[in-house]
């Protein structure tokens, strides 16, 4: 407390106001720097998340394409079986009619 009184005696009211103003500016600068560092970290995190999402989307697209191709193959398989059964049915009906 005596240090503040001695400082007041040496600098006066104007000096104390200047010291407090300098302290406030310094404090604001430190907070600004901390926020800038936090923003940089957030931007890096967002960049990593974007690449992860992009990779996930590509994997999902490949899986959907694979499922679609397998569905087409399955349809072709059943279509061939249906055609073969129709052929056999026709053969059986043709022989039984004579």
Written as six digits, the tokens of 53 are 């999402």
Q: Is 29 exposed, middle or buried (0-12, 13-18, 19+ CB in 10 A)?
A: exposed
- pLDDT-based confidence at 4, cuts 50/70/90? confident
Phi, psi of 62 (to 5 degrees): -65, -40
CB 11 within 8 A of CB 19: yes
Written as six digits, the tokens of 2 are 């005596």
Chain segment 68-94, per-residue pLDDT in tens:
888 788 888 888 889 888 888 888 887
d(CA 81, CA 75): 10
Chain segment 5-21, per-residue pLDDT in tens:
787 777 777 877 888 89
Chain segment 45-66, per-residue pLDDT in tens:
999 999 999 999 999 999 998 8
Whether the pLDDT of residue 41 is over 70: the answer is: yes
């Amino acid at each position: 407390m005596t240090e503040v009184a001695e400082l007041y005696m040496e600098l006066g009211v104007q000096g104390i106001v200047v010291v407090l103003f300098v302290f406030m500016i310094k404090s604001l600068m430190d907070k600004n720097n901390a926020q800038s560092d936090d923003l940089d970290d957030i931007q890096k995190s967002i960049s990593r998340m974007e690449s992860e999402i992009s990779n996930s989307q590509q994997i999902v697209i490949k899986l959907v394409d694979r499922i679609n191709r397998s569905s087409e193959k399955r349809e072709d398989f059943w279509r061939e079986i249906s055609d073969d059964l129709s052929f056999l049915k026709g053969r059986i009906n043709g022989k039984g009619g004579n």
